[in-house]
Amino acid sequence: MDVQPAVAIGVASDQGRQRTENQDSLAIPPPGLSPKELGEKGHLYLVADGIGGHQAGKTASDLVARRVVDEYYRQPPGDVAGALRRAIRIANAEVHRWAQEPGYEKMGTTIVAAVLHGNTLTVAHVGDSRAYLISRDQVQILTRDHTWVTEQIDGGILTQEQADRHAQRHVLTRSLGARPEVLVDLIHTSLRPGDQVLLCSDGLWEAVDLPEIEAAARSGSPQQAARQLVALANEYGGPDNVTAVLVRPDLGPLSHPRPLPGMSTAGRLGQALARVLPADTRERWPLLAAAALLVVVALACALALLLGGLPDGNGAPTAASSATPGAATALPGPATTASPGPTVAATVTPTVPADVQGRVSSTLPLAMRQEPRLSGALVAYLLSSSGVTVSCGIPGDAVDGNDTWYRVTVPGGGSGYVAARWIELEGVEPVAVPACSE
């Protein structure tokens, strides 16, 4: 069971100044979850913005909020991204069935959901509800709106300024309930101390500028900040329902500085001691590190004795003697061929680490695909500096002249292929990555 960080959260939702009902819904981890369940599955948060007249929109968003949380925590642990995607698809199918009933024909909802598992963040979304990563020095929009104007921007037909004023800026190209099946976008990233995650409906980000969102999110407690964000949206006219969920994890104990490539065992040990020792003790960490290394050496010597003795000055093994004159008695047993005792291999074959660690070096989100091709089906987007585990390399479509793709796994269990051009390996050269078996 993984140890989960302490999390402070703030939630706020309002119908706005120009709507008669609030069709937004939100969800946080159920209070009845055990520490074991939270350790295995992490903390799930979501915002859903309902679509449809009368009570249809509220019914859809409320159904999705409840269903996604129930389904996510019901599934076995080990694959955060897969469990989150499946939960959303199950909720989508249920909303779609409802949408076939009279009076619910236009029923649907957006969703943005985030799972915090350790210091790994997995975000899933459909529609135009957003997730923001608010770091100490910047704010990133993690999601990409599924709207008609976004497609026009991507195609070079509209500029962002034109899209912001376009009459069809609210037209969704993807939502829950519109079809029996739905494509869910996934984003993975690693969080650092001081990071916050904001989930919100379009009623917030359309009314409040990004600098003001950032300033409000950094002010006061998460609950105070969430209320201030909603108040700002209403202050600017409140044209839509507005919902904000602000998640502020305490990642201090979970934030481990990465050792530099080639760092010695002593360096790693010193780094670890600097993390866990009080400030007044850290001044003496070199002595403590040396003492700890002596213990390691002593244990290694004891193990070598048990396995056949320490090497002598010429490098040959010396057998560890346990015979006491006149006291040794052979135990009866099956006849065996005499053996000179434990031996040490004359040569040592270097082995490739079972798990090669790396990080996304691209400044833009990196597509992880089901195949090592640029046209391969999208699995998820990996943000800049996200950590990955590299298992093997395989030829694929060339990216900037490099046709190698890596098979990678991300924290939470998702896996796929990414262009090696955008992966920075830690402590090894690219030639150390084994080839994937066909």
Q: What is the mean pLDDT of residues 110-139?
A: 95
Within 10 Å of residue 431's Cβ, how many Cβ atoms?
8
The answer to whether residue 429 scores a pLDDT higher than 50 is yes
Return the domain boundaries, the chain: 6-254, 356-432
Q: What is the mean pLDDT of residues 182-195?
A: 94
pTM: 0.64
Q: Is 374 helix (H, G, I), strand (E, B) or coil?
A: coil
CB burial of residue 284 (10 Å; 0-12, 13-18, 19+): exposed
- Residue 209: name the closest of 283, 141, 122, 277 by CA: 141
6-254 and 356-432 in the same fold:
no
Per CATH, the homologous superfamily of domain 356-432 is: SH3 Domains (2.30.30.40)
Q: What is the mean pLDDT of residues 7-15?
A: 96
pLDDT digits over 298-323, tens only? 555 555 544 444 344 433 333 333 33
Could you tell me the maximum CA-CA distance found in the chain, to the nearest angstrom? 101
CA 133 to CA 146: how far, in whole Å? 19
CATH code of 6-254, in short, is 3.60.40.10
Q: What per-residue confidence (pLDDT) applies to 261?
A: 36
The amino acid at residue 289 is A
| Residues 6 or more apart in contact with residue 366 via CB below 8 angstroms | 360, 381, 382, 383, 384, 386, 418, 419, 422
Q: 248: which DSSP letter? A: E
Q: What is the mean pLDDT of residues 23-37?
A: 92
Q: What is the mean pLDDT of residues 362-386?
A: 80
